[in-house]
A and B are shown apart, each in its own frame.
Chain A
Amino acid sequence: MICLHGVAKRYPCGHEALSNINLTLDAGSMAFLTGRSGAGKSTLLKLIALIERPTRGQILVNGMRLSDVGREHIPALRRSMGIIFQDPHLLADRTVFDNVALPLTILGYRRAEVARRVRAALDKVGLLRKERQYPPTLSSGEQQRVGIARAVVHKPPILLADEPTGNLDPQLSAEIMDLFLQFNRVGVTVLVVSHDVPLISRLNKPIIDLEHGQLRRMVLSDDLPSP
């Protein structure tokens, strides 16, 4: 569960990225976060993953008050979530298998267990046959799916995605979104940042609209006027 109470983020330069955000995302639910560039979408995700800290307000993740999470406990918080970026941040000198295995390596899993879980995750994103390849040899859609496999391989209860379909064509984008829906169906809390409104409005999930750092409206896709 993710819960924000009166959250604001002001950068030292004076720019207020977020002001007075109140938002609750129940455990096992899924929502999209949309808005124009610079509306504060990425900032919101960064606050939830403790990449940045809010200037004001309170954030709860899985019952943890983030203001109580000290520097040494940030890794444990991050291990409880899978984070997907627009640029999948793959390591070019490691195979697809090794890239996906990274979170399990951090958790100290044994080799056999790592192999089993990595293959399951790669199978889920349809890349089982490419486990020995290196990321640069993959298409951008495939790279993004490797990033997704890495984010879910350790079965985190929360999945955060920042513009995961940002540079993919419509068909690939739809496939990726479908993956997120599948993860949500098995109980993962999913928050996806996307400005592909036509795509996300078809998915029948709440859409949170951010504008100039403020929560403008929270709509169910059914409420959206048909394009």
Chain B
Amino acid sequence: MTPPQTAKSAAKNLSPVALSRLQAYGVNHVRAFVFSLKRLYKSPLASLLNILVIGFALALPGMLFILLDNARAVTERWDHAASLSLFVAHSVSDHELKTLADTLVQRHDIVQAQALTRSETLAEFRALSGFTQALDALEENPLPGVIVLTPHVDHQGPTALQALAEELAVHEGIARVVVDMLWLERLHAIMQLAQWGVDILTVLLIITVWLVIGNSIRLEIHNRRKEITLSKLIGASDAFVRRPFLYGGLWLGSLGALMALGIIAGVLFLLHIPLSQLAALYAHSWHLQGPQWHDIAWLFSAGSLLGFSGAWITVAHYLHEIEPA
């Protein structure tokens, strides 16, 4: 009797001499790659519908991300309008006021400190309020001196602004700090909410893409049940049977991502003109920012990865069920 040998070594004896295992592996990958593409091509309508569904499911969050990015770019510019008004004590002289402003502007978190003396604030108030006569009736200028601060861009968020205000409020000679932050806080809350909404939607649509790919692979497995059984019967490994389905998922996912990019490009093209007109009304020289290269790369990889993983989960689940009997 010959000594027991392993199944592996028995298979090796069968392999052609000229063909290394690695080469055979490569040949099988290329075949699965081409074969899965041919399968898509063979049922064009079903494939197109699947790719469209995946395309829409990926386009929606992709587009919302881009719009959100644009909105953020606009609101960041609004943040620049954030400023603090420091009302100094009556006891502070005009000279001391200027010195204080000069000191403040030295700080790293402040880019500009505009000092308005008591007489300057009175003049401004007189000009803007229309209470000229009432002010004339007063014996003394009731208005304090003011320093208008423009914080550095990095310190314009609501929390940073609040912290700065609290710090300056206890500064010597400063009576009151006024910061109009409510609208800023609201804006940031809305942006945060929108971000959350997009994130949740993204998760839901990722699940959708998975289900679509999983379902189409499941159908494909069902349709090719006979072929799978036969392949296993004549010695196909699980990896061999799995491979075309995984490539199939990869194709669906990546083509779906390309479709999504097409849809996004189309929608942005349609939105571009009305949005520019809207921006013009606000006297903004603003342009709708399309997807950047890294966005495109991100979407494409996400689609491919979703396709591949969706196929993997489905194949792992169903392939064990199909065994020759």
State whether A80 and B1 are in contact (beta carbons under 8 Å apart), knowing that A64-B7, A75-B235, A108-B23 are contacts in the complex: no
> B8 near A: Cβ within 8 Å?
yes
Q: A65–B8 Cα gap in the complex (Å)?
A: 13
Residue in A62, A74, A75, A102 with the greatest tally of chain B CB atoms within 10 Å: A75
State whether A73 and B7 are in contact (beta carbons under 8 Å apart), knowing that A106-B231, A106-B235 are contacts in the complex: yes
Cβ–Cβ contact A51 & B324, under 8 A? yes
B229 shortest CB reach to chain A, Å = 8
Cβ–Cβ contact B16 & A109, under 8 A? yes
Interface residues on B, range: 35 or more
State whether A102 and B234 are in contact (beta carbons under 8 Å apart), knowing that A63-B2, A64-B6, A91-B227 are contacts in the complex: yes
Cβ–Cβ contact B4 & A64, under 8 A? yes
Cβ–Cβ contact B10 & A62, under 8 A? yes
Q: Which of A51-92 contact B (CB under 8 A)?
A: 51, 60, 62-65, 68-69, 72-80, 83, 89, 91
Q: A1–B1 Cα gap in the complex (Å)?
A: 9
> A113 near B: Cβ within 8 Å?
yes
Cβ–Cβ contact A69 & B7, under 8 A? yes
Cβ–Cβ contact A89 & B226, under 8 A? yes
Q: A150–B24 Cα gap in the complex (Å)?
A: 19
Cβ–Cβ contact A113 & B11, under 8 A? no
> B130 near A: Cβ within 8 Å?
no
24 A-B pairs whose Cβ atoms sit less than 8 Å apart in the complex: A1-B1, A3-B1, A51-B325, A60-B4, A62-B5, A64-B7, A75-B235, A75-B237, A76-B235, A77-B10, A80-B7, A89-B230, A102-B230, A103-B235, A106-B240, A107-B16, A108-B23, A108-B25, A108-B26, A109-B16, A110-B19, A110-B27, A113-B19, A155-B14
Known: A73-B7, A106-B231. 7 other contacts (CB 8 A): A64-B6, A72-B238, A79-B234, A103-B235, A106-B236, A113-B16, A151-B234
